[in-house]
Amino acid sequence: MRQDCLILFRSLTFAQRAAHVLERGGITATVRKAPQGLTDRGCTYCVRLRANRLNAALALLDQRGTEHGKVFLAREDGGWQEVRP
């Protein structure tokens, strides 16, 4: 079964920048509003991608100096579980 994950960012523009970095690196990622409750700062944005590309995605973002926030894996009940890759 396909499992998705989310990478949080501090703003929409940061999420968009990350999505472009990932797309150029061959990783499909879509910019979304982040589910409420994943951050204590209020509204924010994330990129959503396949969980099996997460490590490659994080490596690419680090390589390009693209700052990111927390990372979450989709749970079977529809919620999100924070992970520390």
Partner 1 sequence: MIYLDSAATSFLKPPAVRHAVLGAMQHMTSPGRGGHRLAMAAAETVYRCRQEAAALFRMEDPSRVVFTLNATHALNIAIRSLIKPGDAVVISCWEHNAVTRPLHALGAKVRVARGRLFDPESVLDAFRKALPGSKAAVCTHVSNVFGFVLPIGEIAALCYDAGVPLIVDAAQSAGVLDVDMTQLRAAFLAMPGHKGLLGPQGTGLLLCGADGAPLLYGGTGSNSREQIMPETLPDRHEAGTHNVPGIAGLAAGLEFVAPRRARIEAIDQDRLRQLIAGLRRIDDLELFYDPEGRSQCGVLSLRSRSVDCETLASRLADRGVAVRGGLHCAPLAHESGGTLETGTVRLSLSPFLSPREIDGAAAIMRDICTKKD
Binding positions for partner 1, rule: CB under 8 A: 10-14, 16-17, 20, 31-33, 40-45
What is the smallest separation between the CB atom of 39 and partner 1, expressed in angstroms? Answer: 9
Query: Phi, psi (5° rounding) for residue 56?
Result: -65, -40
Most distant CA pair in the chain: distance in Å?
Answer: 34
Q: Which is nearer to partner 1, 28 or 52 (CB)?
A: 28
Phi and psi based region of residue 80 (left: phi greater than 0; alpha: psi -120 to 50; beta: remaining): beta
Q: Which is nearer to partner 1, 20 or 53 (CB)?
A: 20
Q: Which is nearer to partner 1, 44 or 49 (CB)?
A: 44
Residue linked to tokens 């409420």: 36
